[in-house]
Amino acid sequence: MKNYLNLIPILAKIHRRQTRMTRWCIVISVFLIAAIFGMADMFLQSQKNLAVMQDGAWHVMFRELNEEQTMMLAARPEVKTLTRYAAANYALDRDYKVEGVQTLLCGYDETFFALFPSVSILEGKFPQETGQALVTEGMRVRLGVSVGDEVEVETPDGVLRFQISGIVEDTSMLLQADAFGLFMNTETYLSCFREATQKEDFVSYVEFVPHCRIQKAIRDICGQLHIPKDRVSENAKVMGAMMQSSDHYILMLYLIAFVLAVLVAVSGMMMILGSMNSSVAQRTEFFGMMRCLGATAKQVRRYVRMEALFWCLKAIPLGLLFSVVTVWGLCRMLQILAPKWFSEMPGFGISLPGVVFGSMIGLLTVLLASRRPARKASKVSPWTAVSGNADTVFAAKRAAHTGRMRVETALGLHHAAGSKKNLILLTSSFAFSIILFLGFGIGIDFMRHALVGLRPDAPGTVNVEEAKAVYFSFALFVYGFLAVVALIAAFNIINSIAMSVAARMRQYGAMRAIGISIRQLQTMVAAETLTYLAGGLAEGLLLGLPIHYYLYRWAIIERWGGAWQMPFKECVVIAAVMIASAIAAMRGPVRRIREMSVVETISM
């Protein structure tokens, strides 16, 4: 053994019981953070794939470029694919007809199919010569035409004749309008519309090479080719899903996701801090002994911090594993609920951002959380190792008030409220969950208001499937996060009570010897639990309701009007979760007290 820190893995087995909760807290924090980022990543990936299917894979569209600008643009190293595109009768309201049916006429380069993967050639090939054209499946079915046939288009300027070179899929727009489509290469298009069309009428869709910093590339291109900014538009959905958008709305969404992850990390940190505090309190004598044997306060502090890092070795991979499995499950669920919308969801993908952020934020959380317990441990005096009065680390500085109530109740209250720091830490971490729950509960109202516009008959809605999918993903997001917050609250309460009792087990043993009954000890634990619970609820509601009020005004009233209402349902739900957890939290410690061997406990 080269160093006292090498003791950590050896003593880890011996201290397993006192550190178990801390290790689970780390696992859960890492799990939640990795799951949030993992889910967000999967969601973005599926949204990007979906956006590519709907709007195409292009990133940026340039309007009104001249021939020189187009050539220079296509030749740039950032540009992976460029396709020119022009359309006549796009609104299907002019007299372009085949056999009396409204027809859309487009001209584009062959590269079009690389940028719009949702359109594919069913038969034949892209027109290589002037005078050839692709026609839509609908035309083939209704007019019985096939590759090689001639087709005549009536236009306001006379009749155009094309030879069919291939058949393409119908787009949903053409299907809905019951119209035909006829697509030719750019040269044909130009020759057909020589008078009516200028080259400037073409737009150029551009897909950039992977890992290109698109906003910078756009700036460079516009600057060097003298293209005004207003002739450039972005494919907002695809760029948004790639986190390259300049769109404020999408940036806002990322900000919200990031804030949520930070909030979860903060509550995770409070959880870890609380559990580390008591794991240190339970090992007071060990740290006193280290000091007795000559360890400096600084060495003890390092020991505690290194120990926390040592747990991360196992806890972080475990948390990541749980998150990966959970993300798979949630993706599957979404696919089953709204198959078309989420068909592009990766099946068994592992999210790199999830893993990276989960482990990094997890590690950071542990490092931050371990500072205070480490300082506490380093302050244990060598004397504690030999005195019989353990628990001195968090011992109160005042005596309990035993005058007015029963001693067991008074002591229970004092265990909770005797150390102000301990009380504030615990009630605040409970209150934090309430605030998160109330704040995020607004998401339900938001969803209700926002989804009114997503009714299937509302304008702009593609179909019922889309409304359903948006609803499901939003509901999953909102309720999923509410569930996570409730879970944290429950775990935190159960954990805190278990810790608090475990740290005082010796004291309870001594009291049993002196003659306290098991029932009285139960009362004591209940009084302590109730104090934390009441404090947490009071603090949470007192802070949470005003926050709810302001958030509600900002997110709902300013957009849709209406008046603020007390979120009774949310309050009841989170309070019920907390009360139920508190009741559950007492069961384990009470069982331990009942099964405790007095002799073994006091001679520990």
Partner 1 sequence: MEIVEVQDLCKTYGTGEAKVEALKHVSFTLKKGEFAAVIGESGSGKSTLLNCVGALDEPTGGRILIDGQNLFAMGEEERTIFRRRNIGFIFQSFHLIPELNVEQNIIFPLLLDHKKPDVGQVEEILAVLGLQERRGHLPGQLSGGQQQRVAIGRALITRPKLILADEPTGNLDRKNSREVMELLTKASRQYQQTILMITHNPNLITSVDRVMQVADGILSDLGGNVNEKLS
515 binds partner 1 (CB under 8 A): yes
The rounded distance, in Å, linking the Cα atoms of 535 and 563 is 29
Beta strand 79-88 with 121-124: parallel, antiparallel or unpaired? unpaired
- State which amino acid sits at residue 226: H
Among 48, 59, 283, 414, binds partner 1 (CB under 8 A): 414
* CB-count burial class (<10 Å; 0-12, 13-18, 19+) for 126: buried
292 binds partner 1 (CB under 8 A): no
What is the footprint of partner 1 within residues 384-413 (CB under 8 A)? 386-389, 391-392, 395-397, 399-400, 402, 406-408, 411
460 binds partner 1 (CB under 8 A): no
512 binds partner 1 (CB under 8 A): yes
21 and 280 Cβ atoms separated by less than 8 Å? no
415 binds partner 1 (CB under 8 A): yes
With respect to partner 1, which residue has the nearer C-beta, 222 or 598? 598
With respect to partner 1, which residue has the nearer C-beta, 130 or 507? 507
420 binds partner 1 (CB under 8 A): no
294 phi and psi angles, rounded to 5 deg: 110, 5
367 binds partner 1 (CB under 8 A): no
69 and 202 Cβ atoms separated by less than 8 Å? no
Token output for 97: 């007809």
The rounded distance, in Å, linking the Cα atoms of 238 and 44 is 9
The rounded distance, in Å, linking the Cα atoms of 241 and 254 is 10
What is the footprint of partner 1 within residues 195-214 (CB under 8 A)? none
522 binds partner 1 (CB under 8 A): no
- State which amino acid sits at residue 82: L
With respect to partner 1, which residue has the nearer C-beta, 347 or 515? 515
Number of residues in contact with partner 1 under rule CB under 8 A: 36
Among 513, 557, 576, 583, binds partner 1 (CB under 8 A): 513
Cβ contacts of 32 within 8 Å, gap of 6 or more: 264, 268, 323, 484, 488
Beta strand 121-124 with 97-98: parallel, antiparallel or unpaired? unpaired
* CB 24 to partner 1: min, Å: 28
Q: From 216-224, 348-356, 461-469, 514-522, give the range in contact with partner 1 by CB under 8 A.
A: 514-522
With respect to partner 1, which residue has the nearer C-beta, 5 or 400? 400
Query: Of 60, 358, 375, 19, nearest to 207 (Cα)?
Result: 60
* CB 517 to partner 1: min, Å: 5
The rounded distance, in Å, linking the Cα atoms of 579 and 71 is 69
516 binds partner 1 (CB under 8 A): yes
599 binds partner 1 (CB under 8 A): yes
603 binds partner 1 (CB under 8 A): yes
Beta strand 150-155 with 132-136: parallel, antiparallel or unpaired? unpaired
Interface residues with partner 1 (CB under 8 A)? 386-389, 391-392, 395-397, 399-400, 402, 406-408, 411, 414-415, 418, 507, 510-520, 597-599, 602-603
